[in-house]
Amino acid sequence: MKSLQLLSFLLLSCIIVSGNTYEGNKKEALGSQSEHTTAKKYQQNLETKFRLYTDTAEGSCRVFVNQLETLDKCGFNASLPLVMIVHGWSVDGILESWIWKMAAALKSQHNQMNVIIADWLTLAHQHYPIAVQNTRTTGQEIAQFVEWLEESVQFSRSNVHLIGYSLGAHVSGFAGSFINGTKKIGRITGLDPAGPLFEGMSPTDRLSPDDANFVDAIHTFTKQHMGLSVGIKQPVAHFDFYPNGGTFQPGCHILYVYNHIAQYGINGIAQTVKCAHERSVHLFIDSLLHKDKQSTAYWCNDINTFNKGLCLNCRKNRCNTLGYTIREERLPKSRRLFLKTRARMPFKVYHYQFKIHIINEIEGKQIEPAFTMSLSGTKEDAKKLHIPLVEGVTGNKTYSFLITLDTDIGDIIMIKLKWEGTPVWENIWDTFQTIIPWTKGTRRPGLIVKAIRVKAGETQHKYTFCPQSIDNIHLHPSQEKTFVKCEDHFERSI
Ligand SMILES: *[C@@H]1O[C@H](CO)[C@@H](O)[C@H](O)[C@H]1NC(C)=O
Ligand SMILES: *[C@@H]1O[C@H](CO)[C@@H](O)[C@H](O)[C@H]1NC(C)=O
Ligand SMILES: *[C@@H]1O[C@H](CO)[C@@H](O)[C@H](O)[C@H]1NC(C)=O
């Protein structure tokens, strides 16, 4: 138990530790020290460095508030929107590698934009509580930068999209709330907004839906360790996405710690912590890089309901798209959206709700829920899917569950359902029949599966499948039964 406590402690103490990084000393374009053309209204020495991302070897070019010529020099195009990337807490004082990946993804897929990295490393490379205090200062500086753009080049704040990771999400929130005037900035995206010292705080003390015309957030590491979590659990946006429930992410499992330790030494623990936290970033990058693989998320109360497949309804705009191409809709109340993902890019999976009506004929006997299913689609097949039933099968009941597939198998045309149970009961029944001869010739009790209903989340298609042979609908252990699309008249009768 002691080692577990130590592990938790280490996990906590190296929250958000950065991993491999690009060299941070990208050459900065030095701002001209010459004449100050605009009025000295704006504070001169901002701590935050605004680096316009460029496709050059330097990687970025520094824009100085009050030095209009630096905008031209760096190639800022005032007729295009601005996306600003805001990093989080920094342990080593270097810009993390995801920042450059994000900037490149934004630029390559949507070249029609200016991408600026808000580098607040000097304020973020502090003890966590100090860095938290500095989020306000940095937010204030970003607000000033946007106001300056507005005044100097008539750049509308509604064309500004702030993308903030971890503490950077709250920095973005403060930027949005500190900007003067009644108009708001266009959009803020919070990528796993930091939890410690923000969870449960009032909306003015953290990222909230009021901070921009539209706010979205992706929560990926809200798992609790000793009462604290790295990412904030509560909704903070108009749309809050909880991939895989938001607590933890596939491919980041604690068992991987050992692999990471082998690979990176003790920093491997940090790699694991970082994995789920930073997943929010890579989900967003994925949405830019794979336009044909956009992930749909579904409005749901909680992950347990979602895991039963009960939330795949997209009617009345219940669904939305995770990432850059989200449908921007201002709702009066935060909406929690759920989805499953793969462990790596592209993260998209295909969600299905299955409803199976099972009648257990074996009176008083609860059946272990060991079933598998194989699906035949118009494009591909999916074999031997484990059916995630938690409760034993009794009586006469409909079971609903969620199945996700990594690939698009097309329309489902056939289902094979197998009861993986061992035929022990069969043997008992045979013995029973030998002892009590008059039961000979009677049918062995088993399970009756009359129909399987399927709802595909991504296409919103619904299907009902019936047993291929209607005379023999009984299922016995280790048997497999084939289900095909129901004939219309039969579907009506069930
Ligand atoms: C700025 O962007 C607009 C719109 O894409 C384009 O027409 C214009 O040529 C760009 N200006 C410069 C200086 O690149
Ligand atoms: C907003 O207005 C006040 C008062 O004029 C000024 O002190 C401040 O710098 C302005 N900008 C921001 C981002 O607060
Ligand atoms: C199963 O339940 C349904 C409705 O609750 C009922 O109509 C049907 O007769 C039952 N079937 C059996 C075999 O008990």
* 192 in active site: yes
Proportion of the chain in helix, strand, coil states, percent, rounded to 5 = 30, 25, 45
- Within the chain, all domains assigned CATH 2.60.60.20 are found at 350-493
Could you tell me the pTM of the whole model? Answer: 0.87
User: Ligand 2 atom closest to Cα of 43?
Assistant: 9
Residue 202, classified by CB atoms within 10 Å of its CB into exposed (0-12), middle (13-18) or buried (19+), is exposed
State the closest ligand 3 atom to the C-alpha of 448, by its place in the atom list counted from 1. 13
Rounded CA separation 152/119 (Å): 22
Distance (Å, whole) CA 115 – CA 98: 14
Question: For 350-493, which CATH superfamily applies?
Answer: PLAT/LH2 domain (2.60.60.20)
What's the angle, vertex CA 34, arms to CA 32 and CA 40, rounded to 5?
100
Strands (E), 226-283: 228-229, 239-243
Delimit the CATH 3.40.50.1820 region(s) of the chain. 2-339
Please report the sign of the dihedral spanned by the C-alpha atoms of residue 453, residue 456, residue 457, residue 461: negative
Task: Give nearest CA residue, ligand 3 atom 9.
Answer: 396
What are the start-end ranges of the H helices in 265-406? 267-289, 303-307
Q: Would residue 208 show up in a list of annotated catalytic residues for this protein?
A: no
Ligand having the closest approach to the CA of 71: 1
Residues with CB under 6 A from ligand 3: 359, 396
Ligand 1 pocket check for 77: Cβ under 6 Å: yes
Which token pair is 394? 């009794």
Q: Which pLDDT tens digits describe the chain residue by residue (494 residues)?
A: 333 333 333 334 444 333 333 333 333 333 333 334 444 466 768 999 999 999 888 899 999 999 999 999 999 999 999 999 999 999 889 999 999 999 999 998 767 999 999 999 999 999 999 999 999 999 999 999 999 999 999 999 999 999 999 999 999 999 999 999 999 999 999 999 999 999 999 999 999 999 999 999 999 999 887 677 899 999 999 999 999 999 999 988 765 555 555 665 555 556 667 899 999 999 999 999 999 999 999 999 999 999 999 999 999 999 999 999 999 999 989 999 999 999 999 999 999 999 999 998 877 777 788 899 999 999 999 999 999 887 888 888 899 999 999 999 999 999 999 988 776 655 565 565 556 555 555 567 788 898 999 999 999 999 999 998 877 778 888 889 999 998 765 555 54
Nearby residues of 88 by Cβ (< 8 Å), 6 or more positions away: 16, 124, 164, 165, 166, 167, 168, 169, 194
Reading the block at residue 66, the tokens are 């009050």
Closest residue to atom 7 of ligand 1, CA basis: 79
- Closest Cα to residue 470, out of 488, 457, 483, 454? 483
Q: At what angle do helices 267-289 and 97-109 cross, to 10 degrees?
A: 10
Residues 172, 188: Cα–Cα separation, whole Å: 7
Q: 178 alpha carbon to ligand 2 midpoint, in Å?
A: 8
DSSP assignment of 80-141, as one string?
Answer: S-EEEEE----SSSS-BHHHHHHHHHHHHH--SSEEEEEE-HHHHSS-HHHHHHHHHHHHHH
Q: Which of 161, 277, 282, 351 is catalytic?
A: 277
- Cβ of 111 closer than 6 Å to ligand 1, yes or no, is no
**How many other β-carbons are positioned within 10 Å of the β-carbon of residue 150?**
18
Looking at the CA of 494, which ligand is closest? 3
Q: What is the pLDDT of residue 280?
A: 98
Rg, Å, the chain Cα set: 28
Residues paired with residue 321 on neighbouring β-strands, in sequence order: 296
CATH of 2-339, one of 3.40.50.1820, 1.20.120.80, 2.40.160.40, 3.75.10.20: 3.40.50.1820
| 277 assigned to active site | yes
How many angstroms separate the CA atoms of 233 and 221, rounded? 8
Beta bridge partners of 415: 375, 483
CA distance 395 to 209: 48
Find where tokens 């060991």 sit: 370
Query: CB neighbours (10 Å) of residue 330?
Result: 11
Question: Please, what is the end-to-end C-alpha distance for the chain in angstroms?
Answer: 54
In the prediction, which pLDDT does 38 show? 45
Distances from the Cα of 215 to the Cαs of 248, 260, 398, 415, in angstroms? 22, 34, 39, 41
The pLDDT score that the predictor gives to residue 1 is 32
Give the per-residue pLDDT at 321. Answer: 98
Q: Which of 18, 90, 152, 166 is catalytic?
A: 166
> What sign does the CA torsion over 83, 88, 92, 93 have?
positive
